[in-house]
Amino acid sequence: MNAHNDVKRFDQSLDARLVLAAVQLRVTAWVDLLVARWLARCAANVEAAQVLFPDRKHTPWSGHAVRSVQ
């Protein structure tokens, strides 16, 4: 019975600002993790493309347009 009362008092003493700050930190950490995974996949795709297409030196993201063969 005493343990139940202690838990109840603990919940009432929590500051909502501290709880929201903790949630914000967790969400920020989760987003950082997802972005890091996405960037790692992008880097792996670029490396794979460089292996598959070694003769393509100019790409749209390098500032040069890829010329089409006519």
Global pTM value: 0.54
Identify the pLDDT of residue 70: 52
Distances (CA, A) of 64 to 52, 53, 67: 19, 16, 9
CA angle 40, 58, 67 (to 5 degrees): 130
**68 pLDDT exceeds 70?**
no
> pLDDT tens digits, residue range 12-64?
667 888 999 999 999 999 999 999 999 999 999 988 888 887 776 665 666 55
